[in-house]
Structure 1
Amino acid sequence: MTDERNHVLCSAVETYIRFGKLEEAMATIDLISNSSWKNFALIDLAKAYVNIDSNKAIQILGRVNRNDDLYKELKIKVYALFDLEKAQEICNQIRAPDYKIKALFTISKVLKKTDLQAATQMWETILTLTVHLNNVYQPYLNILKITREMAELNPSQAKAFLENKLAPLTRRQLFEGVLQDQRRASRFSISHLKYLIAAYSRIDPVETETWLKECNGRIASGHHSRALMELKDSL
């Protein structure tokens, strides 16, 4: 019953935040007995306060009673909205490569708008850290994520970056490798597809759409439909 009650309380907090009833959300959080769930709820509430009262957001984050890398990375998602210096300070404390990569992505998305060179350095750091992860596919995914971020500002630079990082592959081989590989789990294929389409649709949406039409019937129908949906969402 305790877990069920905590679940109901967490759902109530989400609803209160969605409708801007932040004081009610805070009162409800105080009723949550599960420490982890309470911490997650506090971070969500702090994020909601950022544009209203940043000092209140900081105060709420101070109530999070754990400081391992997971919670540092989540706090960065809040601080990055109003205090990049603090976000970077916390990021420097993270040791686990996977959480540090997530933190760097969060900061770079904001930083790229004012200092693209600094953001680019963060992206290179991400690619360096990626080699320490156990997931052999993660370097590929991170290249695509970075390309997507670059493409929002400079499609030509993004195209050059992607083709340089993936020099051994032609563009057609890249698409075919992602969309036709039936040996891997669907979650892996879908993740690659999402970032590949999102990146290329910003670089050259016409070519992306043309290629998908050409390969219709040669790739799994589910993957093809999802690819078209991703392309539509990116346009």
Structure 2
Amino acid sequence: MATVETWTGAEVRALRQAKRMSIESFAAHLGISARMVSKWEARGAGITPRPVNQAALDTSLASSDTEVHERFARLTAGSPSVLPNPGGDDSLPFPRQHQLRHPGDGRRMALVEAGVFLAGPGKEPVWLPDYYIDVFPVTNGDYSRFVAATSHRAPQHWPGGSCPDELLDHPVVFVTWDDAAAYAQWAGKTLPTSHQWEKAARGPRGHIYPWGNQPTPAKCNSRESGLASTTPVSCYHSGVSPYGV
């Protein structure tokens, strides 16, 4: 399988043709406008996409199947930018399913597909590759298995170091970043980056809330709900993000 050192419009056209996609569908796949793809292809080797789009093209090629790679190699034969595969496997460690159960802690995880999302208050476009993220916050029950297996310090709201039964399906609280990182390492995971967390929560279009742009207390446990305590993690089905988390 090949890799591309620097993408130009020529390699962009070859990848689109290898994937057998129209300009419109390829643009949507990359999270950009069809006009931009047309511009790249028209200028060929004379144009180099921006780094964020270079990364998007890298991920699109890397996630393609063998037939696409074979067609791409034939279409780019002789191009100095296309190199033999340097080795290594940066693919996801799981099958490409929209949801699965992690083999480490058995928790459900959702796929956040590669693409551009609008980040921060300025809604700046940021490219991220595929990743999985937990569907629900870590519960007291999940965390109690970690504590039992590792003798890690229990949260302060567990009387006598044991979680009350009525809180087992509530999100664990009174944990530090170090506690969370230790849990993730035990489970065979990593904590999400700030951009991964934001994309999973807001979706690709930069919504203020997971469900849109209007504050709706019925969709989450907020101060306005007046509950003044945690609630089971599965309470707010109508408040899920576009990725189902």
Q: Which has the higher contact order (CA 8 A, sep 6+)?
A: 2
Task: Please say whether Structure 1 and Structure 2 have the same fold, judged by a TM-score greater than 0.5.
Answer: no
Give the structure with the larger helix fraction.
1
Structure-1-length-normalised TM-score: 0.28
Kindly name which structure, 1 or 2, has the bigger radius of gyration based on alpha carbons.
2
